[in-house]
A and B are shown apart, each in its own frame.
Chain A
């Protein structure tokens, strides 16, 4: 009996080896970066925005090692990352996390030298502007937090070490159901103030993230002329008090119907009719449109709320995992992921590498801001862009030249937490 068992075992082992080798062979034929299969798993902590299964599967195929995604709500993710850096290898979120994480010592510097496509990365992260006349926007613009300064602070002076990999970025605004709210004119009539319009009372949703949602509210209040701010990315205690008093009134009047914590939740809010206008992330917009809901991602005349995705390396990740992490980072800028997320409306830091993988119509719509010459499908297979539609806000460059504020952890963030609690409870 034992002999049989041994034979089986050896056979299994052989099969495993054969499969490994064949896989390896296949992998070798395919992607440029192929390594022998490792038993180490690359753990990526992040949000639904970038931790999508298709990306993971493609990455595993291309890179040849197992990747484990842990998507959570942005708040929870930040929380976990800052408190338990040993629980991840790579952290994907946006720039407002950087300061928190850096200050918490949860992340380690990334060496530019190990990034294959550093030179292809456009000027947005390096200078903060895609074109000379572009508004740089208040708050944590990517260039301001990218470089690790000699004094260990994060600044815009270029150094060899950066705090994050520039990859996915976009400008956010609010989405509105055109069945209820008449379609506006981008940059002209669409305004952050709509969030506080009486007509929308009881149907307004805000993202439950103090470093993001607060800016929606600040911009709305400012757009409504209810208050002025010194620096919208750095509110004083008094300003915070005043802001939340105003917002508090709206809240007590039942203005806000919900505070969503994840993209699926945001889709559900509008799909179920709980909200007709709310903070939105781009994939949420695509999903809603794919479900046949005529939602428009506004291009507010006050400007966008920009964000820059950050891929950070855990301070606890070393050795083999660190290598895998660099592989993954480089893979993200290798072209396919950029094309993938482009169909969800995101931009990549080196778009030219992804351009060949998009159809002309897709490139024209998503990057050039031209009308779609045909229906375009999203990554879920549903039609997310109708024929003739134009991307609100126009082209990549145009949009990013109109950033009002970047997602930021303002100095009085901790105080704002208190006020936030009062706002949402």
Chain B
């Protein structure tokens, strides 16, 4: 049975405490109330006592009063009368006082007594007055009415006129009567009264026989009347004082006594009550105290048994558990109060303990396992790192190992091409060159891919021009497009600044791959290249490069895997179209490396569109290349109507564009000086016809630009030389058009863009440090071609010696990095340490890593070339480093 009380020790304790408190409070209440009773009793006792005292004094006063009345009845003394009044007042006051007392203690009996006493006292007072009045009357009656009358009669003239014997008898009777009266007054015996009457009667009898005794007669009768009246008066006040007043006084005394008795009884009963109360209180106190003690002991016992003992037990259990000693069973769990909870907790604790031990064991085991695994992991990691390092090293080596012979092959092939060859030989050399190029591109792809996969590809951010990149790419694929009779369109958004920051080589690579693919997989139609601005955030430009073709397209299934490495759209395409299948994978890798992404959409047999999204920063010093002060403000187009790109370019350059006509004709030019005539020489026309036309056209304007396809370029090339026109090959960029417009203000000297066939001229002596024979030949050939004298060192050591021997001899050192004995970096350092700070040194390496370049510069090199050597780059370096 679980009830809310047994559920909690606290509540049980609280109950006990409440019980104790209640008992204590009851005790206190008892004490207080008994205190009150005592006080009240004391009051009552005081009252009763006082009443008794007063009543006693009252009795005394009444007795005194009676005594005084007795005196005053005889003497009529004023002082005694005064005393009586005093006593009356005193008694009255006492009665009032008693009345008030009785009101406090509210005993009706006592009140009744007092009321009756007051009544009696009032009667007494009234009667006293009557008595005194009566006494006074008696006094005056006696003296005047009686004694005086006696004298009157005795001395009356009538009497004296009577015969002597009669007189004697009369006088004797009168004297006797007088004496009787006095006797009666002294003692009111009936005999005296009778004697008086007898004497008076006798006197009257004597007188009645005579005449002339009227007066005496009357007076005798008067005497009799007066005597009677005196008697009456005396009787009256005597009765009052003796009977009535005494009766009242008696009653007052009696009632006073009764009052005293009542008060005494009251006192007794109060005392008895008090003692009863006292006993009761004692008993109750005793009971309560006992109860309190019992409860207290019970509480202690209860707490000990129910709380302290269990707590101790459980504490020792906890102790055991903490020390790790085994505990068999935990008691008190079945209880539903705090102890029960504690026991349950202990149980749980014990279980958790066991669990913890097990876990500890397990975890220790795990740790050991983990350590073993960790060791394994370290091992694997080391292996992996080693592998990676090996891979990187392999890459680096491979890169070098592969490129170096390739370099050699291509270089030699180039040299070979410049030799006199038979047609067949030339054909074979072309094919070798072509194969070599293909191989180089494949190797480059593989190496690039590996590099990127190994995470070793670093982007080198430099300012570059989109226009330049695309122009170059277009030029490089132009012949291929020509061969397949495909058109190429190019549109670069004029709002794109010309100088952007990025890795131009990799961007070129991306674009080249895509464009190349497009051309590769298109049989008819052509490709379109667009560069647009997605959005601009400050100086960040989000560009969209779109290349769409009308080629064979890619199936849905193939689209899924096209960007994966080593996959081609069609297993057969490799055979047909060649390629490693890495192209798009590299595009994806590179674009993602640059923080962009690539998208592909295609429809089989319809075409493919590849879009690359890149985010490039605008270079700080990028400015619009469009000159606002162009001399040309009009464009007149003859031939095919201008395509959209051209119109857009005109818009960008703020040129008025007008299509004059499709057939070759001479337009009307309102303002020849500021008008550029664009001749779209699309179809093949004969040279003479075109010459004639141009000649005529030349007559009206000097500003002529001829637009043609790539395949027709060589045929129309003459127009440049002969007619001082510009030739732009489709597709041309805005930049190219812009340049064309710009040149027409200057003197029309033939622009000397470096033509691929024109070689620069240099003078000087170059020290070539290169260990590879073939590479030596290649490099020397290149240098000699531009008019330089070359000496060769086999390794770094030799180079250093040669410099030390004759430092002034050389104008430039071209130092290969990877050489036996002493590598290029060490040699450079030594040369610089030797004090040849001004001697230009150009590094040469198969390593294209930025670190290597930096290493070179750190070592003291002024420039750095990558193998295979690019002619133009070489010429740039020569231009820069050589004195002239």
Contacts and interface: CB of A to CB of B under 8 A. Distances in A.
B242 A421 contact: yes
B228 A103 contact: yes
Contacts of B228: 103
A83 B235 CA distance: 10
Given A237-B189, A411-B190, A412-B189, A417 B239 contact: yes
A78 B236 CA distance: 9
Contacts of A209: 243
B61 to A, nearest CB: 15
A411 B235 CA distance: 12
A418 B239 contact: no
Contacts of B264: none
B243 A75 contact: yes
Interface in B168-196: 187-191, 193-194
A412 B190 contact: yes
B258 to A, nearest CB: 9
A76 B238 contact: no
A259 B236 CA distance: 20
Given A82-B232, A103-B228, A415 B189 contact: yes
Interface in B214-242: 228, 231-232, 234-236, 238-242
Contacts of A210: 239, 243
Interface string A218-262: 000000000000000000010000000000000000000011010
B246 A417 contact: no
Contacts of B231: 414
A79 interface: yes
Interface string B546-578: 000000000000000000000000000000000
A420 interface: yes
Contacts of B241: 421
A103 B190 contact: no
Contacts of A78: 239
Interface stretch (B247-255, B287-295, B515-523): B247-255
Interface in B116-135: 123, 130
B249 A79 contact: no
B247 A208 contact: yes
B235 A413 contact: yes
B300 interface: no
A104 interface: yes
B321 interface: no
B250 A417 contact: no
Interface string B294-336: 0000000000000000000000000000000000000000000
B244 interface: yes
Contacts of A259: 247, 250
Chain B interface residue number, banded: 20 to 34
A77 to B, nearest CB: 10
Contacts of A202: none
B222 to A, nearest CB: 15
A7 interface: no
A418 to B, nearest CB: 7
Interface string A68-88: 000001011011001100000
B480 interface: no
Interface in A407-425: 410-415, 417-418, 420-421, 424-425
A425 B70 CA distance: 11
Contacts of A420: 242-243
Interface in A372-425: 410-415, 417-418, 420-421, 424-425
B735 to A, nearest CB: 134
B66 interface: yes
B379 to A, nearest CB: 131
Interface in B127-186: 130
B246 A421 contact: yes
B192 to A, nearest CB: 10
A139 to B, nearest CB: 14
B630 to A, nearest CB: 132
A263 B841 CA distance: 169
Given A79-B239, A414-B235, A237 B187 contact: yes
Interface string A179-215: 0000000000000000000000000000011100000
Contacts of B239: 75, 78-79, 210, 417
B246 A412 contact: no
Given A76-B244, A208-B243, A424 B250 contact: yes
Q: In this complex, which of B66, B239, B249, B250 has the most chain A Cβ atoms within 10 angstroms of its Cβ?
A: B239
Contact of B188 (A79, A82, A103, A412): A412
A414 B188 contact: yes
Interface string B581-607: 000000000000000000000000000
Interface in A249-280: 258-259, 261
A238 to B, nearest CB: 10
Contacts of B194: 411
A259 B130 CA distance: 22
A411 B193 contact: yes
Contact of A415 (B188, B232, B243): B188
A82 B250 contact: no
Nearest to A209: B243
Contacts of B240: 79
Contacts of B242: 417-418, 420-421
Nearest to B240: A79
A265 to B, nearest CB: 8
B243 A103 contact: no
A83 B250 CA distance: 24
A415 B235 CA distance: 9
Nearest to A235: B190
A209 B246 CA distance: 12
A146 B335 CA distance: 113
A79 B241 CA distance: 11
A417 B228 CA distance: 17
A210 B240 CA distance: 12
A79 B235 CA distance: 9
A78 B244 CA distance: 11
B94 to A, nearest CB: 21
A258 to B, nearest CB: 6
Interface string B340-372: 000000000000000000000000000000000
A350 B277 CA distance: 66
Given A412-B189, A424-B250, A79 B244 contact: yes
Q: In this complex, which of B189, B235, B241 has the most chain A Cβ atoms within 10 angstroms of its Cβ?
A: B235
Contacts of A421: 241-243, 246
A75 B236 contact: no
Contacts of B130: 83
Contacts of B244: 73, 75-76, 79, 261
A417 B243 contact: yes
A236 to B, nearest CB: 8
Interface string A141-184: 00000000000000000000000000000000000000000000
A424 B243 contact: yes
Contacts of B238: 414, 417-418
A420 B240 CA distance: 12
Given A75-B244, A414-B238, A420-B242, A258 B189 contact: no
Contacts of A410: 190
Nearest to A83: B236
Contacts of B249: 425
A209 B236 CA distance: 14
B363 to A, nearest CB: 108
Q: Which 4 A-B pairs have the closest CB atoms?
A: A411-B190, A421-B242, A414-B188, A208-B247
Given A75-B244, A411-B193, 13 more contacts: A73-B247, A75-B247, A76-B123, A100-B235, A237-B189, A237-B191, A258-B254, A259-B247, A261-B244, A413-B235, A414-B234, A415-B189, A415-B190
Interface of A: 73, 75-76, 78-79, 82-83, 100, 103-104, 208-210, 237, 258-259, 261, 410-415, 417-418, 420-421, 424-425
13 contacts: A73-B247, A75-B243, A75-B244, A76-B123, A78-B239, A79-B240, A208-B243, A237-B191, A411-B193, A412-B189, A412-B190, A417-B238, A418-B188
